[in-house]
Amino acid sequence: MGVSLDGQKAVVTGGAQGIGFAIAERLLKEGASVALWDMNAEELANAAAALSGQGTVTTHQVDIVDHAAVEQAAAATEAEGGAIAILVNSAGISGPTVPMIEYDPREWKRVVDIDLYGTFNVNQTIVRRMIDKGYGRIVNIASIAGKEGNPNASAYSAAKAGVIALTKSLGKETAHLDIAVNCITPAVAKTRILEQCTQAHIDYMLSKIPRGRLLLVEEIAAMVAWLVSRENSFTTGATFDLSGGRATY
């Protein structure tokens, strides 16, 4: 049995592929209309075509690091019809897999800008609208790396740790409202982001998972669907584990 998201407008950043796409597909199945926000215009067009017939889907090419662009995308999304009730912030990059002492500072900053500052931009812009409407559900996609710190992924690990802390902070700030802000910490999932990682790094991450396999994007989408539903009326500022037994806290 699924959850009901009938009549709700959802924004999914990074929604053109991978985890974001799977989440968008599940939200559509549960009755939501979905606005896909992504940097890649070609992937957005492909995603919209793939999701056609499954529900109402719109697309917006937006750089989440650009605060003005995020504001414009939010206004355009609402102009399409209805307040934004759901946000899933899935946009992100993994960055190079190199020791921290060898990390190009410009690349380190780029990863943190997209994965953490971008999350701040999107959360701030949309939660303001949710406060005005008196309702909202937010899920930020963090990572098990944010809990444990994967070697040779210092920027990604640091950024995702920041996403966890940001979520906890914002969840407390909005706890007196009917707004839930939570995050999930997936282990390595079977998506194209793995193309950015060395095979040695993938093997390392896989070796840490007691389940002994990669996480499926459909499993992520199932958890997110509940977290963004009205049924999740109490839990906020929390971190939900999707690590296949790897996480120890």
* Cβ neighbours, 10 Å, residue 233: 10
Q: Which residue has the tokens 């979520």?
A: 167
* DSSP single-letter state for residue 175: T
- Alpha-carbon distance of 142 to 146, in angstroms, equals 7
Query: What are the residues facing 241 on neighbouring strands?
Result: 185
Nearest to 92 by CA among 67, 63, 71, 66: 63
What does the alpha-carbon distance between residue 100 and residue 82 come to, in Å, rounded to a whole number? 45
113 Cβ contact list (under 8 Å, min separation 6): 65
Q: Is 117 a catalytic residue?
A: no
Question: What type of residue sits at position 31?
Answer: G
Catalytic pick among 103, 156, 204, 249: 156
| Catalytic annotation, residues | 156
